[in-house]
Amino acid sequence: MIGLSHYLVLGTMLFSIGLFGVLSKRNAIAVLMCVELMLNAVNINFVAIEKFITPGTGLGQLFAIFVIVVAAAEVAVGLALVISIYRQKKSVNLNDFNLLKW
Amino acid sequence: MNNLPLLSLTLFIPIIGAIFIMALPKDQEKAIKYIAAGSTFISLVLSLIVFITYDRSAGGMQFIENIPWVADLGVSYALGVDGISLPLLLLTNLIGFSGVYASWNISPRGKEFFALLLILITGVMGTFVTTDLFIFFMFYEVVVIPIYLMVIMWGSTKRVTKEYAGMKLTIYLLIGSAFLLVGLIALFVTAKGLLGFPSMDIMTLAGVEFPVGFQIFVYALMAFGFGTLLSMFPFHGWSPDGYAGAPTAVSMIHAGVLKKIGGYGLIRIGLFILPAGAKYIAPIIVILALGNVVYAAFICLSQKDLKYIVGYSSVSHMGYVLIGIAALNVISINGAIMMMFAHGVMAALFFAMIGNLYEKSHTRNVDDFGGLAHQMPRLATGFMLAGLASLGLPGTVNFIGEFTIFVGAFSTFKVIAIIAITGIILTAVYILRTLGDVLFGPRKEEWDHLQDLKGPELVPLIVLGAAILIGGILPFTVMDLINSGVGELLAHIGSIQIGGIF
Amino acid sequence: MNYSLLSTEILTCLIGLVVLIFGLVLPQRGKVVVGKLSVMALLAVLAYAILNFGSSETYFGGAYLVDSYGNFFKILFLVAALLVMFSAVKYNERFEERSSEFYALMIFATLGMMVMACAGDLITIYIGLELMTISFYILTAYLLNDGLSTEAGLKYLILGAVSSAVLLFGMSLIYAMSGTTVISEIAGSMTTEPALIAGIVMMIAGFAFKISAVPFHMWAPDIYQGAPIPVTTYLAVGSKAAGFAAMARVFMVAFPLSQFNWSLALAVLAALTMIIGNLIALAQTDVKRLLAYSSIAQAGYILTGLVAANVYGLKGVLFYAMLYVFSNTGAFAVATAVEVDSDSTAIEAFNGLSKRSPMLAAVMTVCLLSLAGIPPLAGFVGKFYLFSGVIQSGYLWLAFVGLIMSMVSVYYYLMVAKAMYIGEAASEKAVEVGSAARFAMWACLIGTLAFGLYPAPLAQMAQFAISVFF
Amino acid sequence: MNLNDVVAAFVTGLTLSDVVFIVIAGITVLSALGVVLARNIVHSAVFLVITFLGVAAVYFQLNAGFLGLVQIMVYAGAISVLMIFAIMLVMDVEPQETNLFNKSVPTILTGGYVGVLFFAGMTGAIAFTKWPVSSVKAGDAGADLLAGLMLGKYVVPFEVAAILLLVAVVGAIILARGVEDK
Amino acid sequence: MILQNVLENAWIIPFLPFLAFALIGLIFHRWPKFSTAVSILSIAASFVFSVMVAMTVFSTAEGTVYEAGTRWLSMPGLQVDMGLLIDPLTAVMLLVVTTIALLVQIYSIGYMHGDPGIASYYAYQSLFAGSMLGLVVSNNFGQIFVFWELVGICSYFLIGFWFGRNSAKEAAKKAFITNRVGDFGFLLGILFLQIIFGTLNFNGLAVEIANYTNTGVLSMISILLFFGPIGKSAQFPLHVWLPDAMEGPTPVSALIHAATMVAAGVYLIARAIFIFNTSAEALMVIAVVGGFTALFAATIAIVQNDIKRILAFSTLSQLGYMVMAMGVGVMTAGMFHLMTHAFFKSLLFLGAGSVIHAMHDEQDIWKMGNLSKKMPITTWTFVIGALALSGIPPLSGFWSKDEILLGAFASGHMGLYVLGSFVAFLTAFYMFRLIFVAFFGSNTAGEHAHESPSVMTWPLIILAVISVFAGFVGSPLMNNAFGHYITYVGAQHHEASVSIMIVSAIIALAGIVLAYLVYQRKLVDYEAVKERFSGVYNLLYNKYYIDEFYALLIKYFVDGTAKVMEWFDLHVINGIVNGIAIFTGRAGTALKYTENGQVQTYALYMFAGIVVLLISALCAVFTAIA
């Protein structure tokens, strides 16, 4: 019988995958993608929670929508940054971005 | 006659002077000096007035001023002096005044120097005149940073660089004060719990019955914090290097009064508020103090740099003060305070003379000198006076302090007192050796160009020398005052029977 | 309902929009004027906020709260924003035609902070936080042809996005357990369910990132170093304060300590933050980066107030946050002037500053010492409040760590002082400082001194502000 | 309900919706893994779209139709396209090496380890929690409800979100346009 | 008016010299003549006063006693007064000190003529006299200690008066430090008195001790107190400073050896005799130390060649006599000898000074000779002094020395009696060795010598006269008037025995004769003897190598310890401090490298933190649940 916890586990799973991606990918854009994965995972949580705990209030969905909006904005800025840094370094490889350290 | 806030005036006139100095343009060297001298002189006079008009028969806190400051911390701008703080206040002004003259030829950047010096003097004074824990600590830490700046800007590099010396001194004292601060805050918080209202007033706190365990804990913290400031063995490392690196005036004030804040704090805060803790910790302090007296005295024997000799000797003398404080009886504490006053004047005079000599000869190494009494008789007189005071010769105020401490300590711990008293022999040895090698012996031609003290350079010698002799020949002028204060103290903590735990 | 109390936020928002629009239409000259005007307008807003400090109102069923606590932080943010803008006037010239957008973004960031401070609902907090953060992503990368700046921007974005994901995950769990996102209602349904604990932990992590507490501090040094100095300043004082504002409200209101002792976790974080921040700062040679680490350490001190979670502690948090604005901005203002002068913030660049321009050196020294907590400067009083609270709630060891580390910190602050006072200056000519920046520095100096010498008024404000929790 | 029950639930009879969920979840997770594991950034992008669609499907299954649509429009539509554009703009190497893992193997391993730990811990927390599930059965919360919330209780976040988007747009333009180096 | 109540105003006696010191130091030091005048006038006035005091005191049969004190340093449980205690003992000491001080200062006019430092010389002289007088009139131990130390420092200044010489510098230092060692014990004794009896006032203590039974404590206190005299009166282990003390101008030596410095120790014992008398052990120690010193010094004196050294060692041995007298319980005899010795010893030193002056600072007796022609006054006064010292009746030395030997004999200390007599023999011998060699020797080095100016000779003559007659006041002929008066606690006097007198007179004569035979008639080749017993000779000549031993002690023990401690301070204590500092810095540098610039590392740290927090929190919760 599929319950809330399954959805949450699904969310957690997506979250962890995204997390792993963030930690391990080299390409800045891929990292942004993984961030999106994490945000989607959170959204799944919100929606599922609303469905099972506060049905009919729309609270979770609202939260999810806001998250989507923010995510979109973040992606926009992020990609702009990637482009701008690519313009300077001709690279999107995070390993190359270590002028700032120590 | 208390309508005039004498203490506030004494306290803030140097600050006002400092502000004026900062306002002046750099090149007004003369005006700057005169302002500095003038403001310290006014403070000196005011503190003398306080010293004289203080009603010794009445005793207790007098010249009280009290303005609520921070309500929720129970802090109030509270001033007042009693027999314990008044001598030290006077001492501060004596040394401050002579300090200005001792650095008369300071250059370059005399402007910054005198401004910082005045701030420094105010800071030290503040710790002695306030009766509020918070304000006390505030003033205490105020002094640390100006000293650092003065050391690195006008200090001298000999065995250690002045940067190292200044940093060591600063960080050392600050770490000590960190422990102290924890203790104070704990004190404050616990007192708030017991009283029900926040208070930083020392007397109010003294009225609180703290649990013994807590007292011991906090007093231990204070013993470390204040002990570090008092260069208690083995936390004395900063003091010789610091004095060696510091410019004359700073050495004078630091060795003269700043150190004494440690002893003063131990008495004013430690004994007043935490008598039981004091009683418990006393034996430990005494053992360490023994380290000060003998160990430091021995080290003096093998020093060649005049400033190091005086630095270590001051460590050694502080041992007496610690013993006096730890012996916890009226005589010994009287002695401790007298000793603080005495050592302050003596050390200041010593450093003033050394500074003057160094300024002219650019060396402080004993072996370089010899027979200076030929060329500079006045300087020699100053050295001699300081030296004799330092070895506790009767007729100098130091004898009064040492003798009283010995009597007091002897009645509490015999053996330790005996060992400590051997210090007088060692002191005699290194002092006479040093003075002999520097002042006496055949004339050395290379020093014929040295000018003897003259003009402003004489002021420290006169002021401090007078203090040494007057205090030594007419001890009751100071001792009665101190006694009135210590009487109060002992009456207050009468609950604990006198003496460490044995 | 009296919506006039929202006018602070609304005005700020409007000013931002106006600046943005005029920035598009006006020619280069005009943009500068726009910047100045916007500053003036913000001053008016600040005045308004101060006047309405006392008034409070609850909007939208607790989703948005205008209370003394929020107002305190609004004032704080506005003060910070103004000081930064003043001190940055000269620096901003290098943004050429983008300068008006710069002001706009700063103002929007301020708006985001205000929303965070006044938010009574997790959603509001999140949105405010994101507005602030995204503005900062852009501002951080604002030196477009400077590799460091862009790199910092990208790093900040990635880490910031991840951290807000974590925060969201935590919020989702809280929401799951309490069925509501309104902070004041959450408290009612507190249990010790594992999921709830997990939620709290992840929210701690999320906020800890914003306030750059160890081990979530790693971004701070790089971003602070890479970003344009004004942005760094604002990040350090504003963003951090906002993080604390929201965090304190959430944890004080939503999570009663009786349920789950989160203060222990915070205590560990605080200790780590103070130790590591100060230790690494010892090894820095670039003043900007040094200040970055020092600000990490400062976050640790402020965090102790939250650990204490009692009157003194929180008062300390607010007091410290406010004085931190003055002290830190003062230090950064001087750093800005020096960078403008010599295009470098390495310690060597400060050599002989006291000879070149004594006033700058004095401001720097005073502010740094205030950060170190040396009386009679404000930092000391702040620390006194904080550690009184900490000791009162029984974390003696934390007080030891904090005070000892703050004394250790004196070392690197004095290193800067040393360079300024005995270093050999490359050039003898004075560092030229614009009148605005000079004003900002004086303001910081006076604030730092005044709060230290006569802390009572600020203390009362803080007292009044935290009265909403007790 | 604890983990064993979860396992048990799988072996015992599964309703249709359960099967659907499992299928969707499977697809989503697998494609998410694809995003991470693909060596070609373009493939990653494609997998990402699939994941987004899967998430949308989950929304639909949770009776959040409106949200599902938003998800498809914003994510599967806008964001993915944006990503592809970006990818195209910055593609200069062989597609095969566009999406490699981090150079330092320790980072990857610890990263994987941390991820697994996180998953384990969180799953445990979820499994051992008694969720205050409400018995109320509500239908699809339509756009009207959300609109009411946005313009009512949550008007502040709504407005702020608007500003946020504005900021993002302005910022994106400024950053992407860049300045001509002098 | 002053004359009416002399005793009340006796404080003026020490006060005047102090005043003189202050005046010279502050005002007159630019004008040597003024300084001289001020100093001499002040001491003269004190002298007059002392005479009046003495007259008042001795006006009554048993001598009047006056005590007064003014509060100086006081607090609950500790009171040190500046007081006056005038009794016969004091009176005598005042007379002796003022007389000799006065004469010495007059004499110095000639001796120090032309010295650049005359002003400071007289300043020190005044201070010296003042301190000594203050010590004499003290009515409590605190005050005594104060002036005790002042006397010490004055000796430091005067011995090191010619500070240009390294030898003077060293001698002065040696004198003060050696005294400090003694004072250490003395101070401890005083502290014990204060702690146990709660007062330092002599009369008070006398009462307290009278009904205090613990003799062990009393012995300890007595012996501790005795450390003071050991230092000041240069008794055996701490005698080393006195011979070197002649580095100072000769008049100073006269003052130190006769009136001020060394007398102080003996005077202290006399003053505190009521304490010493309570403990037989202490008395025994004192007697033995005294006796040993007497012999020890005399043996050394035999072989010395420096005229002042010989006198110095004779002083040592005479001091030994006095201390021994105290020890064997005849304090009066000790004081008696102190007085007489003061006169003839100062006479001898001033005479020696006159010789040295005439010989242009030549001090080796073998380089003198045949001075009797050139400087008769000096010679004959010197001979008188020598006779008095050797104890030839009826000169003063005879009576006092006889009193002591009598005391030793009668109190049953046979050993000490024999020892004393032997020392008397040695004394006569070495004194006349000196005289025969220096004044009647065949050596013609003294050709160009000439008699000293009258300002120097008159004091010699006066002292010579006193040396001759001073003895009678204590002699049986005047049935020990001196002894009767000086008694501080009951008369201590033994019936004079003619036999002992005769014996000691014969012994003295024997010594003189031997010296005459050896050094004048040259019947024995003393060089050969020297060769024969070269070992013994060197041992004696080098003063039993005690100075060398102390030097080694200081070099290796004291300075060695100092070096060790310094090393410890530099490398251990500072090492630890610096170590901590360095460690902190290193830690910072190490941690710094965690910021490796890799954004993903940062994220990794973040999530590691989260996971740790999460798991620990969950564990906490689960344990709480379970």
Omega prior to C376 cis, within 30 of 0? yes
Kindly indicate the confidence band of residue A65, based on its pLDDT and cuts at 50, 70 and 90.
Answer: very high
CA distance B362 to B353: 13
Judged by 3 or more CB pairs under 8 A, whether A touches E is yes
Tokens 């000041």 correspond to what residue? Answer: E232
pLDDT band at B500 (very low <50, low <70, confident <90, very high): very low
List the subunits that have 3+ CB pairs under 8 angstroms with C. Answer: A, B, D, E
Average pLDDT in the E43-67 region? 84
The span from the CA of C234 to the CA of E139, in Å, is 79
More confident residue, C188 or A9: A9
Q: State the DSSP code for E74.
A: E
Contact D168, D79 (CB under 8 A): no
Q: Note whether E89 and E335 are within 8 A (CB).
A: yes
Under 8 Å CB pairs connecting chains A and C tally to: 117
Report residue C426's pLDDT band, with 50, 70 and 90 as the boundaries.
confident
Q: Which residues of E279-315 are buried (b: 16+ CB within 10 A; e: fewer)?
A: beebbebbbbbbbbbbbbbbbbbbbbeebbbbbbbbb
C window 175-214, beta carbon within 8 A of A: 175-176, 179-181
Render pLDDT for C329-344 as a digit per residue (tens, 0 to 9). Answer: 999 999 999 988 888 8
* Model pLDDT for residues E343-383, shown as the tens digit of each residue: 888 888 888 888 888 887 778 878 877 777 778 888 888 88
CB contact under 8 A, C463 and B72: yes
pLDDT given at position C344: 87
What is the CA B16 to chain-centroid distance, rounded?
23
Please name the residues in contact with C107: beta carbons below 8 A apart, sequence gap of 6 or more.
C12, C15, C16, C19, C38, C42, C81
**Count of pairs with CB atoms under 8 A, one residue in B, one in C:** 89
D15: left (phi over 0), alpha (psi -120 to 50) or beta: beta
- Select from C234, C351, C371, C366 the least CA-distant residue to C290: C371
Interatomic CA distance for residues B499 and B326, integer angstroms: 8
C-alpha dist (Å) from residue B430 to B300, B433, C73: 6, 5, 64
Interface contact E614-C281, CB threshold 8 A: no
With helix as H, strand as E and coil as C, how does B228-253 read? HHCCCCCCCCHHHHHHHHCCHHHHHH
What mean pLDDT do residues E194-217 have? 87
Q: What residues of A are in contact with residue D148 (Cβ under 8 Å)?
A: 58
Give the pLDDT score at E489: 45
pLDDT in tens, D53-94: 999 999 998 888 889 999 999 888 888 888 888 888 887 767
Mean pLDDT of chain C: 90
Provide, as residue numbers in chain D, all residues whose Cβ is less than 8 Å from the Cβ of A71: 75, 79
Q: Identify from B139, B142, B145 which residue to disrupt to test chain C contact, counting C C-beta atoms within 10 A and taking the largest count.
A: B145
Instruction: Give the count of alpha carbons within 13 A of C280, CB side only.
Output: 27
pLDDT over threshold 80, residue E304 = yes
Q: What are phi and psi of C352, to 5 degrees?
A: 65, 20
Is C288 an interface residue toward A (CB < 8 Å)?
Answer: no
- E172 interfacial to chain B (CB closer than 8 Å): yes
pLDDT of residue A94: 86
Give the gap in angstroms from C-alpha E31 to the nearest C-alpha of chain C: 51
| Comparison of pLDDT for E555 and A20, the residue scoring more | A20
Are B493 and B272 a contacting pair, CB within 8 Å?
Answer: yes
Please indicate if any CB of chain E lies within 8 Å of the CB of D124: yes
Interface list for C 88-107 with D (CB within 8 A):
96, 98, 101, 104-105
Closest CA to C154 of A74, D177, D37: A74
A2 touches chain E (CB under 8 A): no
As given in the structure block, the two tokens for residue B28 are: 């007004």
| pLDDT(D122) > 60 | yes
pLDDT band, residue E490 (cuts 50/70/90): very low
Section B373-385 average pLDDT: 90
Chain C residues touching residue A49 (CB < 8 angstroms): 172, 175-176
Confidence at B233, pLDDT banded by 50, 70, 90: confident
Q: Which residue type, as a one-letter code, is found at position B3? A: N
The C-alpha of A30 sits at a distance from chain E's nearest C-alpha, in angstroms, of: 13
Mean pLDDT of C27-47: 82
Count how many pairs of residues, chain C against chain D, have C-beta atoms within 8 Å: 101
- C458/chain D closest Cα distance in angstroms: 30
d(CA D120, CA B301): 70
- What pLDDT, in 10s, does the model give residues C83-125? 999 888 888 888 877 888 888 999 999 999 999 999 999 999 9
**How crowded is residue D12: how many other Cβ atoms within 10 Å of its Cβ?**
9
Q: Which chains touch E (3 or more CB pairs under 8 A)?
A: A, B, C, D
- Evaluate whether C162 touches E603 at the Cβ level (below 8 Å): yes
**Total-model pTM:** 0.92
Each as own residue / partner, the long-range contacts of residues B28-36 (CB below 8 Å, 24 or more positions apart, any chain) are B28/B111, B29/B107, B29/B110, B32/B110, B32/B111, B32/B114, B33/B100, B33/B104, B33/B110, B33/B114, B35/B114, B36/B100, B36/B114, B36/B117, B36/B118
E618–D107 C-beta distance less than 8 A: no
Best CA proximity match to E421, nearest among E348, E518, E483, E501: E501
Q: Is E614 on the interface with C (CB under 8 A)?
A: yes
Chain E within 8 Å of B407 (Cβ-Cβ)? yes
Asked whether the beta carbons of C415 and C293 are under 8 A apart, the reply is no
The answer to whether residues B237 and B176 touch, using CB atoms and an 8 Å cutoff, is: no
Cα separation, E100 vs B84, in Å, equals 47
Calpha distance C401→C277 (Å, rounded): 12
Cβ of C399 and B189 within 8 Å? no
Q: Where are the beta strands (DSSP E) in C219-374?
A: none
Any D CB within 8 A of C134 CB: yes
Per-residue pLDDT band for E477 (boundaries 50, 70, 90) equals: low
Kind plus residue range of the DSSP H or E element containing D7: helix D3-11
**Lowest-pLDDT range of B225-234, C157-166, E418-427, E537-546:** E537-546
At least 3 CB pairs under 8 A between chains A and B: no
- Per the CB < 8 Å rule, is A78 touching C157? yes
